[in-house]
Chains A and B, each alone.
Chain A
Amino acid sequence: MLNSRRLACATIVAASIASGVMAQDVVRIASPNKVTVLDPIASAAAGNIEAFGQLYARLLRRDTSGALQPALAESWTVSKDGLTYTFELHDAKFSDGTDITAQDVAFSLNRVAKDEASSYPAAFVPVKAFTAIDDDTVELTLEYPSAPMLSYMEIFNAGIVSMDDVQARGDEAFLTTPVSSGPFMVEVWKPNDRLILKANPYYWREGYPKVAGAELIEISDDNTRGSMIMAGEIDANRGVPFAQVDEMNANDGVTVPLEPSTLIYEIMPNHAVAPFDNINVRKAAAMALHREAMVKAMTLGKAVVANSTLPNALTYYAADVAAPSYDPAAARALLEAEGALGAEVTLMVTPQFEQAATLLKAQWDAAGFKTSVERVDPGLWWDRLTKGEYQVTVNWWYNETEDPDLAVRWAVCGTCGNKSYYTNYNNEEVNAMVEAALREQDDTKRSAIYGEIQRISTEELAQIPLYYPPFANAYSTRIKGLTLTPSLQWTLEEAEFVE
């Protein structure tokens, strides 16, 4: 293994001397998140999102500071009424050497917006159509204005695929080696094991990627990934348990920078069934919890206690709203007043939330609930959640962009398709504000609307916010420039090995 790697290394060094490329080696990233599909519209699961970014370039991209920059689109104009966007494309090629044309862009983005198989079209609901005006110009027309639309040209499923290839190969196009427009292309995909990538020689950004290739390796066990990075077998470890951050940081050759995320962890009561259909019972459930202490126990002080139903990394995040604070006596009194003392609640958790379950049960029972914990595997969890077959559960979500539009649609909107992250929270006033805020082009007014959405949804406890964690990923010090962005994208094209 080591020998063949050295040999590969030597070959690549030789090649790079010959061609003047900076590429030196292959970056190996181990993650618990599985790559299950390579079609960018087919899934919104973390493992796939992380891979899509490497395979499919988008019209825009974010630089390391998070600002939007031109990518496949060289420039763009937006009409006064905010209904028409015109993108001028960069000269760029797919990994098979064919040109990336406006037809490809229109085809790819119309798939995301309109195709039945599109798993997450929420950002593109206002889209009337993407049209190729000529080979280098794409026009986007909207049914109604959408303030964050430009930033959606950068999200994980807005990647550009080859129209010719997809039409020629159909569903087969994404099964093994899709034609790629991003910094990398598939060398070999071994489902349930690893996705081996090599640099796309036709990538539009000259001089990138700086490495010859990358491997996205699936390893579910935290401890295994931990020992692998300490032993230098991998270059990045996705997801270090907070309990191991300090220890790993102390290790020579490994760093665990806590990177900003748009993650939020929260308790999700089902508003459609008793007892959490009652706002006072939800309040009692929140007041029963010493959330500060819980967060300290769960993250060892590495995360910020959440105060709002939205992640704190979002624009227009309201720092001044607050869920009810810890008061178990008041919680009990509230339950008594509602005749809900001794209310039986079943907490549904996945194995990841075992510690949370222990903490919740102890505190809820102390305040007068009768909690039982039901353990389910993640697949069943999702099934039961989406069918609304649960009373209360714990989970997390993240937002693709810093704009809160998708976030409010995901978490607190009862009419946006997923019933407030399947909690069945449905406040008509909030729903109306979600639509109004999207169309509002004035920054101050948008800010006010999102502030109000957060105030109401937090007061009504659409979910009980727990904490805002950073990403804790471990990196080998052999590599620089590799980070995970808040949009769950590895900056692999920027990564390079240091000597």
Chain B
Amino acid sequence: MKMSPMFLWGAGLVALWGVIALAAPMLATHDPYAIDFEALLQAPSAQHFFGTDNVGRDTFSRVIYGARLALYIGILGVIAPMLIGMAIGLTAGYFGGWVDSIAMRVVDVAVPFPFFVLVLSIVAVLGPGIENYFIALALVGWVGYARLARAEAIVLRSSEFVMAARTMGFSHPYILFRHVLPNALSPVVVYMMTDVTLVILFGAALGFLGMGVAPPAAEWGVMISEGQIYISTAWWISFFPGLAMVLIGVGFALMGDGLAKMLRIER
């Protein structure tokens, strides 16, 4: 398999963010939570690379620590939807019949509903916080995975090796796990890459709206929100976390697209 340059760039960016997140304590120049009354709203300088915010915290260090939260949210946020979606999609596609009908009607109902509105409403009901965001994602995010997995499973169930396995008397669960799942995985993984970006973005949007990670956490959405009224006088408070979000998003998106190309998946 030939490596796509797009994939390499994306993977490089994502890996870079991974390193930044892991090495945050070493890279940060200041304590991201330490307020400093002597250094309010300072512009970027050698002392504070990205300036300081309205309580004198170092924006650079906060952006660095923010990478931890972003990756944590992005990666953890897609796991539950993926597992649920795969389980439902594969079962529906593999067995067909009434199982398929029920699962797909649920999907049909969920798909046209604006994803973010749904997540927002669920978080509004459950209360602000990142745990509730994960719950909301698990409740609505599985739909995309389910459709993909189902499509793959439908193709695979009539494939020769699955037929062969059936005739040899293997059980359904065994075939699903051993033969269908591994072959259905690649489009799902590609989809997951873009999903990570969305989950990070929505997580930050929730933080911005005061419904996600709670301040004073060094979370990018929270930081952008904190800098909101200073946007024309101290732009750096919101700008740098915004830039970080773009760079992490581009990383995952390139990785996903590159992967799709390599696996020759039409999307």
* B232 at interface by CB-CB < 8 Å: yes
A354 neighbours in B (Cβ, 8 Å): 210, 215, 226
Stretch in contact with the other chain, from A174-182, A239-247, A465-473 = A239-247
> Are B215 and A358 within 8 A (Cβ)?
yes
> Are A361 and B216 within 8 A (Cβ)?
yes
B216 neighbours in A (Cβ, 8 Å): 357-358, 361-362
Beyond A297-B54, A359-B55, A361-B216, is A223–B37 a contact (Cβ under 8 Å)? no
Prevailing SS type, chain B contact patch: loop
> Are A297 and B214 within 8 A (Cβ)?
no
Contact bitstring A353-368, B, C-beta under 8 A = 1, else 0? 0110111011100000
> Are A357 and B229 within 8 A (Cβ)?
no
* A448 at interface by CB-CB < 8 Å: no
> Shortest CB–CB separation between residue B263 and chain A, in angstroms?
44
Kindly state the separation between the CA atoms of A358 and B57 in the bound complex, as whole angstroms: 11
**Docked complex: A231-255 residues within 8 A CB-CB of B:** 241, 243-244, 246-247
Kindly state the separation between the CA atoms of A313 and B232 in the bound complex, as whole angstroms: 32
> Are B128 and A375 within 8 A (Cβ)?
yes
B40 neighbours in A (Cβ, 8 Å): 296-297
> Are B54 and A244 within 8 A (Cβ)?
no
> Are B228 and A223 within 8 A (Cβ)?
yes
Kindly state the separation between the CA atoms of A358 and B223 in the bound complex, as whole angstroms: 12
Kindly state the separation between the CA atoms of A354 and B55 in the bound complex, as whole angstroms: 11
* B126 at interface by CB-CB < 8 Å: no
Contact bitstring A277-306, B, C-beta under 8 A = 1, else 0? 000000000000010011011000000000
> Shortest CB–CB separation between residue A375 and chain B, in angstroms?
7
Beyond A351-B210, A358-B215, is A293–B37 a contact (Cβ under 8 Å)? yes
* B122 at interface by CB-CB < 8 Å: no
Name B232's closest neighbour in chain A (CB-CB). A247
Q: Determine which of B37, B215, B228, B231 lies in contact with A290 in the assembled complex, contact meaning CB atoms within 8 Å.
A: B37
> Shortest CB–CB separation between residue B207 and chain A, in angstroms?
12
Beyond A290-B37, A293-B37, A375-B214, is A355–B54 a contact (Cβ under 8 Å)? yes
> Shortest CB–CB separation between residue B235 and chain A, in angstroms?
12
* B233 at interface by CB-CB < 8 Å: yes
Q: Determine which of B54, B214, B233 lies in contact with A247 in the assembled complex, contact meaning CB atoms within 8 Å.
A: B233
> Shortest CB–CB separation between residue B35 and chain A, in angstroms?
5
A222 neighbours in B (Cβ, 8 Å): 229
> Are B229 and A223 within 8 A (Cβ)?
yes
> Shortest CB–CB separation between residue A117 and chain B, in angstroms?
32
Prevailing SS type, chain A contact patch: helix
B9 neighbours in A (Cβ, 8 Å): none
Kindly state the separation between the CA atoms of A355 and B234 in the bound complex, as whole angstroms: 15
> Are A297 and B210 within 8 A (Cβ)?
no
> Are A223 and B231 within 8 A (Cβ)?
yes
Contact bitstring B212-236, A, C-beta under 8 A = 1, else 0? 0011100000000010111111100
**Docked complex: B15-69 residues within 8 A CB-CB of A:** 33-35, 37, 40, 54-56
B37 neighbours in A (Cβ, 8 Å): 290, 293-294, 296-297
Kindly state the separation between the CA atoms of A223 and B214 in the bound complex, as whole angstroms: 22
A357 neighbours in B (Cβ, 8 Å): 215-216
> Are A355 and B230 within 8 A (Cβ)?
no
A343 neighbours in B (Cβ, 8 Å): none
A294 neighbours in B (Cβ, 8 Å): 37
**Docked complex: A322-345 residues within 8 A CB-CB of B:** none
Kindly state the separation between the CA atoms of A354 and B228 in the bound complex, as whole angstroms: 12
Kindly state the separation between the CA atoms of A223 and B232 in the bound complex, as whole angstroms: 10
> Are A359 and B232 within 8 A (Cβ)?
no
Kindly state the separation between the CA atoms of A382 and B81 in the bound complex, as whole angstroms: 38
Beyond A297-B54, A297-B56, is A244–B214 a contact (Cβ under 8 Å)? no
Kindly state the separation between the CA atoms of A363 and B216 in the bound complex, as whole angstroms: 13
A149 neighbours in B (Cβ, 8 Å): none
> Shortest CB–CB separation between residue B211 and chain A, in angstroms?
9
Kindly state the separation between the CA atoms of A62 and B214 in the bound complex, as whole angstroms: 45
> Shortest CB–CB separation between residue A385 and chain B, in angstroms?
19
* A373 at interface by CB-CB < 8 Å: yes
> Are A355 and B233 within 8 A (Cβ)?
no
Kindly state the separation between the CA atoms of A358 and B233 in the bound complex, as whole angstroms: 21
Q: Determine which of A351, A355, A362, A375 lies in contact with B33 in the assembled complex, contact meaning CB atoms within 8 Å.
A: A362
B33 neighbours in A (Cβ, 8 Å): 362
> Are B210 and A375 within 8 A (Cβ)?
yes
Kindly state the separation between the CA atoms of A243 and B226 in the bound complex, as whole angstroms: 12
> Shortest CB–CB separation between residue B209 and chain A, in angstroms?
10
Name B37's closest neighbour in chain A (CB-CB). A293
**Docked complex: A217-232 residues within 8 A CB-CB of B:** 222-223
Name B56's closest neighbour in chain A (CB-CB). A297
B231 neighbours in A (Cβ, 8 Å): 223
Kindly state the separation between the CA atoms of A357 and B210 in the bound complex, as whole angstroms: 14
> Are B55 and A243 within 8 A (Cβ)?
no
Kindly state the separation between the CA atoms of A237 and B54 in the bound complex, as whole angstroms: 23
> Shortest CB–CB separation between residue B24 and chain A, in angstroms?
20
Q: Determine which of A241, A293, A373 lies in contact with B214 in the assembled complex, contact meaning CB atoms within 8 Å.
A: A373
> Are B228 and A355 within 8 A (Cβ)?
no
Name B40's closest neighbour in chain A (CB-CB). A297
B56 neighbours in A (Cβ, 8 Å): 297
**Docked complex: B112-153 residues within 8 A CB-CB of A:** 128
> Are B210 and A244 within 8 A (Cβ)?
no
> Are B232 and A297 within 8 A (Cβ)?
no
Most chain B CB neighbours (cut-off 10 Å) among A246, A363, A375: A375
Task: Return 16 A-B CB contacts under 8 Å, by A number.
Answer: A241-B229, A243-B54, A244-B233, A247-B233, A354-B215, A355-B55, A355-B226, A357-B216, A358-B35, A358-B55, A358-B216, A363-B35, A373-B214, A373-B215, A375-B210, A375-B214
Q: Which 5 A-B pairs have the closest CB atoms?
A: A293-B37, A241-B229, A358-B216, A362-B35, A243-B229
